[in-house]
Structure 1
Amino acid sequence: MTLHHLYGKIWMAGVFSIACFITACKKDFLDQKKLSAIDETAVYQDSTRSLGVINSLYANLGISFNPRRFSNTGLDAACDESEPLPDPASFTYKISSGGINPNNADKGLWGTTFQMVRIANIFLKNKDSIPVAPETRDYWTGQVRFLRAWYIFTLLKHYGGIPLIGDKIYGDNDKIDVPRSSYEDCIKYLTAELDAAAAALPTSYRSGDVNQLRVTRGSALAVKARMLLYAASPLVNSGPRGDDPEHLLTFPAADPQRWKLAADAAKAVIDLGVYSLYTASSTPLYTFFLQNTPQTEHVLVYWQPWTTANNFYIEASANPTSRGGMNGWAGVKYFPTQELVDEFDMSNGLRITDPASGYPGIGDDMYKNRDPRLTYTVHYNGSIRLLGNFGDQRVNTYTGVIPTGNAAATSASLDGIYTSTGTLTGYFRYKMCNGGGGELYRPWVVMRYAEVLLNAAEATNEYAGPTADVYDWLKLIRSRAGITPGANNMYGLKQGMTKDEMREAIRHERRVELAFEEHRFWDVRRWKIAPQTENAETHGMEITRAANGSFSYRVITIRKHVFTDAMYFWPIPQSELTKSPALKQTPGY
Structure 2
Amino acid sequence: MKRIIFIIVLCAAFASCKKGTDFLDAKADTGETEATVFADSVKTMRFLTQIYSAVGYSFNKGRFSSHGNTEMATDDAEYAYSGVTQYTVIMYSGSLSPNTFWDRTTIPDFWGTPYANIRRVNLMLSKLPITPLNVATKKRITGELRYLRAWYYHFLLINFGGVPLEGDAVYGIEDVIDLPRSSFQATVDYITSELDAAAAILPLPNVPAPLGYQEQDYGRATRGACLALKSRVLLYAASPLFNGGAISSASAIAKPLVSYPTYSVSHWQKAADAALEVINSNYYALNEDNVTAPGFGFYNVFLRRVNTEYIFNFNRGNNRDMEVNYNPPSRGGAKNSTPTHQLAEAFPMRNGKAITDPTSGYDPANPYANRDPRFGYSIIYNQALYYSTSTSSKIAVNTYAGAATDGYTTNGTGPTTTGYYSRKMCDENISANSSFNTERGWPLIRYAEILLNYAEAINETGQTALAYPRLVAIRKRAGILPGADNLYGLKANMTVEEMRLVIQNERRIELMNEDHRWNDIRRWKIAVAVNNGFNKAINITRIGTTGSNYTYQVANTIRAHVFNEQHYLMPIPQSEVSKMPSMVQNPNY
Map residues 219-298 of structure 1 onto 2, 5 A cutoff: 219-239=225-245, 241-246=248-253, 247-280=256-289, 281-282=291-292, 284-298=296-310
What's the counterpart of residue 9 of structure 1?
none
Is the 1:465–1:498 contact (alpha carbons within 8 Å) kept by the matching residues of 2?
A: no
Q: Report the secondary structure of 1:109's partner residue.
A: coil
Structure 1 position 392 matched with structure 2 position 394: yes
Structure 1 position 570 matched with structure 2 position 570: yes
What's the counterpart of residue 582 of structure 1?
582
In the TM superposition, what whole-angstrom CA distance separates every residue of 1:167-197 from its partner, at most 9, and x where no partner exists?
A: 1111452112222111111011111101111
Distance 1:450 1:143 in 2: 23
Distance 1:216 1:108 in 2: 26
Q: Report the secondary structure of 1:554's partner residue.
A: strand
The amino acid that maps onto 2:5 is: C
The amino acid that maps onto 1:258 is: H
Is the 1:65–1:518 contact (alpha carbons within 8 Å) kept by the matching residues of 2?
A: yes
What's the counterpart of residue 407 of structure 2?
416
Distance 1:366 1:181 in 2: 50
What's the counterpart of residue 98 of structure 1?
94
In the TM superposition, what whole-angstrom CA distance separates every residue of 1:381-430 from its partner, at most 9, and x where no partner exists?
A: 01101111412100100124xxxxxxxxxxx3111012855111000000
Cα deviation, residue 288, structure 1: 4.1
Map residues 76-475 of structure 1 onto 2, 5 A cutoff: 76-85=71-80, 86-106=82-102, 107-205=108-206, 206=212, 208-239=214-245, 241-246=248-253, 247-280=256-289, 281-282=291-292, 284-304=296-316, 306=317, 311-325=319-333, 331-361=334-364, 363=365, 365-390=366-391, 391-400=393-402, 412-418=403-409, 420=413, 422-435=415-428, 436-437=430-431, 438-467=436-465, 469-475=466-472
Distance 1:314 1:333 in 2: 10
Is the 1:26–1:33 contact (alpha carbons within 8 Å) kept by the matching residues of 2?
A: no
Cα deviation, residue 314, structure 1: 2.5
Cα deviation, residue 245, structure 1: 2.1
Report percent identity of matched pairs. 40
Say if 1:22 and 1:73 are closer, same or farther in 2 by CA, change over 3 A: closer
Cα deviation, residue 315, structure 1: 2.3
Distance 1:301 1:74 in 2: 18
In the TM superposition, what whole-angstrom CA distance separates every residue of 1:468-527 from its partner, at most 9, and x where no partner exists?
A: x31111000001101100111110011111111111111111111111111111111111
In the TM superposition, what whole-angstrom CA distance separates every residue of 1:35-70 from its partner, at most 9, and x where no partner exists?
A: 679922322222211111211111110111222212
Normalising to structure 2: TM-score of the pair?
0.89
Structure 1 position 522 matched with structure 2 position 519: yes
Cα deviation, residue 292, structure 1: 4.6
Is the 2:204–2:213 contact (alpha carbons within 8 Å) kept by the matching residues of 1?
A: no
In the TM superposition, what whole-angstrom CA distance separates every residue of 1:258-295 from its partner, at most 9, and x where no partner exists?
A: 00100000000011101000013447343445435410
What's the counterpart of residue 30 of structure 1?
15
159-168 vs 372-381, which moves further: 159-168
Is the 2:242–2:259 contact (alpha carbons within 8 Å) kept by the matching residues of 1?
A: yes
What's the counterpart of residue 5 of structure 2?
20
Say if 1:154 and 1:194 are closer, same or farther in 2 by CA, change over 3 A: same
Distance 1:298 1:236 in 2: 28
61-70 vs 546-555, which moves further: 546-555
The amino acid that maps onto 1:314 is: M
What's the counterpart of residue 61 of structure 1?
55
What's the counterpart of residue 7 of structure 1?
none
Is the 2:482–2:488 contact (alpha carbons within 8 Å) kept by the matching residues of 1?
A: yes
Is the 1:292–1:443 contact (alpha carbons within 8 Å) kept by the matching residues of 2?
A: yes
The amino acid that maps onto 1:179 is: P
Stretches of structure 2 lacking an aligned partner (at least 5 in a row): 24-31, 103-107, 207-211
The amino acid that maps onto 1:42 is: T
Q: Report the secondary structure of 1:187's partner residue.
A: helix
The amino acid that maps onto 1:60 is: A
Say if 1:23 and 1:347 are closer, same or farther in 2 by CA, change over 3 A: closer
Q: Report the secondary structure of 1:460's partner residue.
A: helix
In the TM superposition, what whole-angstrom CA distance separates every residue of 1:133-167 from its partner, at most 9, and x where no partner exists?
A: 32221111111100011101111111111111111
Cα deviation, residue 377, structure 1: 0.5
Cα deviation, residue 26, structure 1: 4.2
Is the 2:377–2:424 contact (alpha carbons within 8 Å) kept by the matching residues of 1?
A: yes
Distance 2:271 2:160 in 1: 21
Q: Report the secondary structure of 2:205's partner residue.
A: coil
What's the counterpart of residue 11 of structure 1?
none
Is the 2:302–2:443 contact (alpha carbons within 8 Å) kept by the matching residues of 1?
A: no
The amino acid that maps onto 2:303 is: Q
Q: CA RMSD in A?
A: 2.2
Q: Report the secondary structure of 1:31's partner residue.
A: coil
Is the 1:21–1:35 contact (alpha carbons within 8 Å) kept by the matching residues of 2?
A: no
Is the 1:385–1:395 contact (alpha carbons within 8 Å) kept by the matching residues of 2?
A: yes
Normalising to structure 1: TM-score of the pair?
0.89
Cα deviation, residue 21, structure 1: 6.0
Say if 1:569 and 1:207 are closer, same or farther in 2 by CA, change over 3 A: closer
Distance 1:109 1:394 in 2: 39
Is the 2:301–2:307 contact (alpha carbons within 8 Å) kept by the matching residues of 1?
A: no
Q: Report the secondary structure of 1:539's partner residue.
A: strand
In the TM superposition, what whole-angstrom CA distance separates every residue of 1:439-466 from its partner, at most 9, and x where no partner exists?
A: 3341111110000000011111111321
Q: Report the secondary structure of 2:538's partner residue.
A: strand
Q: Which runs of 4 or more aligned residues in structure 1 lie more than 4 Å from their structure 2 counterparts after TM superposition?
A: 21-26, 34-38, 239-242
Say if 1:26 and 1:565 are closer, same or farther in 2 by CA, change over 3 A: closer
Say if 1:427 and 1:25 are closer, same or farther in 2 by CA, change over 3 A: closer
Say if 1:239 and 1:358 are closer, same or farther in 2 by CA, change over 3 A: closer
